[in-house]
Copies of this chain bind each other. A is one copy, B any other.
Amino acid sequence: MEIIPNILAERYASSSMKSIWSVHEKILMERNFWIAVLKSQKELGLDVSQNEINDYESVKNKVDLDSIKKREVITKHDVKAKIEEFNSLAGHQHIHKGMTSRDLTENVEQIQIYKSLQLTLKKSVAAMVILSKKAEQYKNVLISGKSHNVAAQPTTLGKRFAMYGEELLLVVRNFEQLVERYPIRGIKGAVGTQIDQLTLFGDDVTKVSLLEDNIIKHLGFNNSFKIVGQVYPRSLDFEVISLLNQLTCAPVSFAKTLRIMAGHELASEGFGEGQVGSSAMPHKMNARSCERICGFQQVLKGYLTMISNVAGDQWNEGDVSCSVVRRVAIPDSFFVIDGLLETFITVLNQMEVYPAAIEKENGRYLPFLVTTTILMKAVKNGAGREAAHDAIKEHAISVAKDIRLGEINENDLISRLAEDDRVNLDRKILDEILGDYNRLTGNASNQVDLFLSEVNSWIKRYPDSLDFKTENIL
């Protein structure tokens, strides 16, 4: 029968993320894990020769999934089938000594998670770097900053990008710390007492402790659990998936804002090389990839729900009620975040900004925003304060009404004020007030610089982030 593919992996994730979670790759990880344990056991006195270990090394890449499956049909136990296959290939029976199935599966799953975290971190830094380039590019482009989806005060487009950038920075920092401290379960046995390794090493506590330290170091982890039961605490999975969720927030707020901006034709997510808009509907700037970014977040929230329900659900030393949940939620979460970051970076690279449209929008709203300055100048210029105030208010309300009723297309408040003697300011002065852009946006540009400076310190630590290339997204 036809295989139903994992849609997240096949449609959205990058090949590097898929590879971590492929069946083939997992078997290699398992075999490397067994060999690492065996080497360490040898060092600590277990009777196994270097030649025998070499025999395992030499066959570890011979992955025959069908043969393993056949063994599983007989043993009805997947770990046993894999042990038999590897032993049979190597011609020895030395692996998995003093280990239970969980000593293999928990650790190898954690290796997969760890590799996925590292890949995600790398991609997140790249996204942050590219976002910072956009913030720099539009650092001084004045836009009508909006609250309640309506213009409120001027800001710059670069600051808007840097605002989402700072949100991203916050979580990338946490993320880096998580990767640093992520602890592996280690070899602890069926209920965590290490009794089987102790038996193997004649109750020598020091040797068992050394064995574990060696393996953890070998696998590249900085940290490990000491007191687990059958399983490592699932609240660690919760921590991981929760951070992936947090990581989506800045990209999603960005994407949602771009969808809204596209509706106003202020910007678009752009098109791929060679792609063109519909000739019949050339105004269509569909933010499809941004919509997908938003969708990804909802998917990831679902996996958070799943994992939140296995964290804190340990009965005694553990059981497998979390098994199906983790099989689904953990790899799929990484496929989602990977697809999201690929899409986010693609959008950042391809997005287009339409300064003329932005200017036009500013033309509509800025006059309302400078009326307090106009009043001050008018009074300074000799106008009566009350008269000027009344004039400004009258005209402002009347302009707003005329726009809404469709009687005018553009905000002509400045013209009306120029013609009103009560205001006593000529058109040139009024235009100057309106045009003093640098002042209107306050600290916006300075804030962008702060962000750039933060990102620069990351670029130094992650120099590859400057050259990050996405795969082709759908």
Task: Known pairs A154-B191, A195-B440; list 12 more (Cβ under 8 Å).
Answer: A1-B19, A2-B24, A7-B331, A147-B316, A170-B235, A193-B443, A195-B442, A226-B450, A253-B312, A298-B309, A304-B308, A357-B403
- Whether B4 contacts A21 by the Cβ 8 Å rule is yes
CB distance from A449 to the nearest CB of B (A): 10
CB distance from A389 to the nearest CB of B (A): 10
Q: How far is the CA of A203 from the CA of B373 in the complex (A)?
A: 14
- Which A242-300 residues have C-beta < 8 A from chain B? 242, 245-246, 248-253, 256-257, 259-260, 262-265, 275, 277, 279-288, 291-292, 294-299
Which residues of B are found within 8 Å of A442, using beta-carbon distances?
A: 189, 193-195, 198
Q: Which of B154, B312, B323, B335 contacts A248 (CB 8 A)?
A: B312
Stretch of A49-57, A160-168, A378-386, A426-434 that contacts chain B: A160-168
Q: How far is the CA of A323 from the CA of B259 in the complex (A)?
A: 16
* Contacts known (A148-B287, A150-B263, A159-B227); A328 close to B299, Cβ less than 8 A: yes
Stretch of A29-37, A109-117, A391-399, A456-464 that contacts chain B: A391-399
Q: Which of B163, B194, B227, B364 contacts A317 (CB 8 A)?
A: B163
Stretch of A8-16, A82-90, A121-129, A214-222 that contacts chain B: A8-16
Which residues of B are found within 8 Å of A282, using beta-carbon distances?
A: 368, 396-397, 399-401
CB of A377 closer than 8 Å to a CB of B: no
Which 4 pairs across A and B sit closest by C-beta, in order of nearness? A356-B406, A193-B442, A282-B400, A145-B191
Which residues of B are found within 8 Å of A195, using beta-carbon distances?
A: 153-154, 440-443
CB of A306 closer than 8 Å to a CB of B: yes
- Whether B320 contacts A298 by the Cβ 8 Å rule is no
CB of A190 closer than 8 Å to a CB of B: yes
CB of A152 closer than 8 Å to a CB of B: yes
CB distance from A270 to the nearest CB of B (A): 13
- Whether B450 contacts A227 by the Cβ 8 Å rule is yes
* Contacts known (A192-B159, A281-B369, A354-B404); A149 close to B292, Cβ less than 8 A: no
**A contacts with B, residue count (CB < 8 A):** 170
- Whether B299 contacts A153 by the Cβ 8 Å rule is no
Which residues of B are found within 8 Å of A138, using beta-carbon distances?
A: none
- Whether A152 contacts B192 by the Cβ 8 Å rule is no
- Whether B246 contacts A242 by the Cβ 8 Å rule is yes
Q: Which of B3, B193, B297, B323 contacts A159 (CB 8 A)?
A: B193
CB of A419 closer than 8 Å to a CB of B: no
Digit string of A315-332 for contact with B (CB within 8 Å is 1, else 0)? 111111111110111011
- Whether A317 contacts B155 by the Cβ 8 Å rule is yes
CB distance from A308 to the nearest CB of B (A): 5
Q: Which of B191, B296, B369 contacts A155 (CB 8 A)?
A: B191
Q: How far is the CA of A204 from the CA of B19 in the complex (A)?
A: 54
Which residues of B are found within 8 Å of A354, using beta-carbon distances?
A: 404-406
Determine the residue in chain B with the shortest Cβ distance to A401. Answer: B282
Q: How far is the CA of A314 from the CA of B371 in the complex (A)?
A: 28
Q: Which of B6, B226, B265, B315 contacts A5 (CB 8 A)?
A: B6
CB distance from A430 to the nearest CB of B (A): 16
Determine the residue in chain B with the shortest Cβ distance to A443. Answer: B194
Q: Which of B225, B262, B295, B371 contacts A321 (CB 8 A)?
A: B295
- Whether B165 contacts A227 by the Cβ 8 Å rule is yes
CB of A228 closer than 8 Å to a CB of B: yes
Q: How far is the CA of A316 from the CA of B149 in the complex (A)?
A: 7
A-B contact pairs, 7 of them (CB 8 A): A3-B10, A4-B6, A198-B443, A245-B311, A256-B314, A302-B304, A302-B328
